[in-house]
Amino acid sequence: MFAARFDPSQVQNLSEPAGVFKTQLRPVVPSKRGKESDDESESESESESKQEDVKESREPDGSGSEVSLSDVEALEASSDGPEPNSDDQISSIGTVLNDKHSGLYNRFQKTLSLQEKLRSSDLIETEDEKTEALEQHDLVPIPQPAVVKNTFPSAEAATVMSKSAAWLQTQKVYYDNSMVKPFASYETQLNDKLLANITTKFSDQTFPVQTILLDTVLPKLRFAQSVNKRQFPRRVGDILVNASTGSGKTLAYSIPVVQSLSKRTVNRLRCLIVVPTKILIHQVFETLTKLSQGTSLITGISKLENSLRDEHKKFQNQQPDILIITPGRLVDHLQLNSFDLKNLKFLVLDEADRLLNQSFQNWCSVIMNRLKSDKNERAPVSVIKMVFSATLTTNTEKLHNLELNRPSLFMMDSVKLYHLPKLLQEHNVQIPTAKSFAKPLFLMQLIVALSDNNSRILVFARSNEASLRLATLLQLMSAKRILNTDANLEVTSINSNNTKGLNSKLIKQFAAVGSNKTVKVLVATDLMSRGIDIDNITNVINYDPPISSQQYVHRCGRTARAQAQGVAFNLLVGKGEQKFWTEHIDSDLSRDADGCHPKSHDEVDALKDILTTSPDVEENYRKCLEQLKEEVHDR
């Protein structure tokens, strides 16, 4: 059973035959360790077989061949005896293993016989049997999870969201052009004098932005004032309004202010209206004067033409209830302590994007710090900030400087930043690059094609110098009558070279009603694109494209005001300007679905030939260019 131990001192005889050599060789096993391991494994197997055989012998119904205890003892005794042959050893081990497995097989057979005798109700149903009992179906597609919709915004929406990041934390209130109602429906919320002034001096119907503001702000003001007259601005919160030009924003914020202050008893500065230009001062002052007629409210103005010392004495003697002022002048009066802001309830920013884009002696920080010191309050102070613009800024930093308190944003229900008037018709005039030299001539032909009784055309140029040269060239072409027309052109220009008085006079002449067959043309820069309220401008021509969508909105907003019709023309040279208008201007603009949308000038019969010229006309045009060159050189 065990191999002979290898003795390295003995030399094997390798010269014997192969058969003899194989019979004489013995496997080499470590002397001590090999024997012990073999003994342990042999004893374990023998003990296991011995225990199982004993168990089989104790069972009464055992059958089959069994290994008796005497056989086991004989086997153990033989293992201690002399070493047997290898064949006898293999046969004896095989007998023991067969007897062991036969016992396991006998027990398996008994288990099967017992299961056959059991009733079906006593059997335990396995998981496999349950699966087999299920109803079988034909092959069908494997059920798929629900489709996850793309939650990422589109490229256009993502661009708008990135541009309007400053508006994400505001409460948005949407309105549309259908929100029009009579002012008489507010008779329970407005006093009788104010309502009479509105209906007799302005209109019987509200504009959409006025409707949403009056419906939202008036109830808040009424409730907050009934609770606490001193701290009511905190309950109302701040107001941001992004409305198109000519939509009635001035009247929209003037009505709540006059209604709220109409019951005051002592004159104190309670409303401060900040505007960027002097022209806007007069327009807002005219609106408030008409609204407050019949009340004891005092409306004051402050402008650069007046003496700062005289205004300082005037405000110290009697403070107005409402003050309309420009940012630079406001800082001057705050430094002179002409008035304090202790009783201020309303801070209105008209054309806010322009105010916030320019520092004006860092006016925003100055007024916010002064409010905190005069009111002895921490931010946000108890003042209702009303921020109005057709292109409200999306700069988070600039709006943060205003320290807004629970702001509400009123805007048109659109994904675009800015909204154009519903009745504004836009036309794009695509000028080939090869014909760009004749752009002023094409402008002249467009003006002649638009000539009608009492037509008023506002032309926007890129710069002050460009407006001067363009106006002079139009005057030369009109004087020489290079185009066969009976229209009488009256071309003027407002620019920084003129005095303020002359510019104001030219604007009044442009807005006045003229004689028949007179076409009034006013060439201006973007200075005229803000706050100029001239109701009867029939056409706006963008001779030079604006630098941004904001400028475009303000330019085109000079016409189609107060729900009237208007037309805007864009002179675009080459593919570059057309691409710029499409990607950087038109992409930010929204229009009503049932309103006007941009068209090409070719779609209008009267404008199809404005880009075609005859040789005689071109020759006269070149002569006018030479004369303009001489005049500019003489200057």
Could you tell me which residues come within 8 angstroms of residue 471 by beta carbon, excluding any fewer than 6 positions away? 491, 492, 493, 523
Cα 124 from Cα 456, distance rounded (Å)? 99
Which band of pLDDT confidence, cut at 50, 70 and 90, is reported for residue 570?
very high
Q: What is the pLDDT of residue 503?
A: 85
Q: What is the pLDDT of residue 157?
A: 63
Q: What is the pLDDT of residue 55?
A: 44
Cβ distance 211 to 181 under 8 Å?
A: yes
Report the chain's terminal Cα–Cα distance, integer Å. 131
Cα 238 from Cα 387, distance rounded (Å)? 8
Cα 363 from Cα 64, distance rounded (Å)? 112
Q: Check pLDDT > 60 for residue 14.
A: no
User: Can you tell me the mean pLDDT for 512-529?
Assistant: 81
Portion of the chain with pLDDT greater than 70, in percent: 76
Q: Check pLDDT > 70 for residue 26.
A: no
Q: What is the pLDDT of residue 159?
A: 60
In 186-288, the DSSP E strands lie at 239-242, 271-274
Pair type for strands 518-524 and 488-493: parallel
Which band of pLDDT confidence, cut at 50, 70 and 90, is reported for residue 545?
very high
Beta bridge partners of 522: 458, 492
Q: What is the pLDDT of residue 197?
A: 94
User: Can you tell me the mean pLDDT for 25-47?
Assistant: 47
On the 0-12 / 13-18 / 19+ scale of CB atoms within 10 A, 413 is exposed
Q: Check pLDDT > 70 for residue 150.
A: no
Cα 540 from Cα 526, distance rounded (Å)? 12
Note the CATH number of domain 419-634. Answer: 3.40.50.300
Cα 73 from Cα 68, distance rounded (Å)? 9
User: Can you tell me the mean pLDDT for 408-437?
Assistant: 88
The answer to pTM > 0.85 is no
Domain with CATH 3.40.50.300 in the chain: 164-413, 419-634
Please state, rounded to an integer, the average pLDDT across all residues of the chain: 80
Cβ distance 590 to 415 under 8 Å?
A: yes
- Between 519 and 22, the more confident residue is 519
Could you tell me which residues come within 8 angstroms of residue 195 by beta carbon, excluding any fewer than 6 positions away? 183, 184, 186, 187
Which band of pLDDT confidence, cut at 50, 70 and 90, is reported for residue 42?
very low
| Cis peptide bond N-terminal to 219, omega within 30 | no
Closest-CA residue to 384 (of 517, 582, 218): 218
Burial code (b: 16+ CB inside 10 Å, e: under 16) for 498-513 equals eeeeebeebbeebbee
User: Can you tell me the mean pLDDT for 557-568?
Assistant: 87
Digit-coded pLDDT (tens) for 211-261: 999 999 999 999 999 988 888 998 999 999 988 888 889 999 999 999 999
Q: Check pLDDT > 50 for residue 19.
A: no
The interaxial angle of helices 86-117 and 33-58, nearest 10 deg, is: 40
Cα 55 from Cα 335, distance rounded (Å)? 113
Domain made up of 164-413: CATH architecture: 3-Layer(aba) Sandwich (3.40)
Q: What is the pLDDT of residue 501?
A: 82
Cα 544 from Cα 572, distance rounded (Å)? 8
Q: Check pLDDT > 70 for residue 45.
A: no
- Between 73 and 307, the more confident residue is 307
| Token representation of residue 327 | 């940012």
Q: What is the pLDDT of residue 22?
A: 43
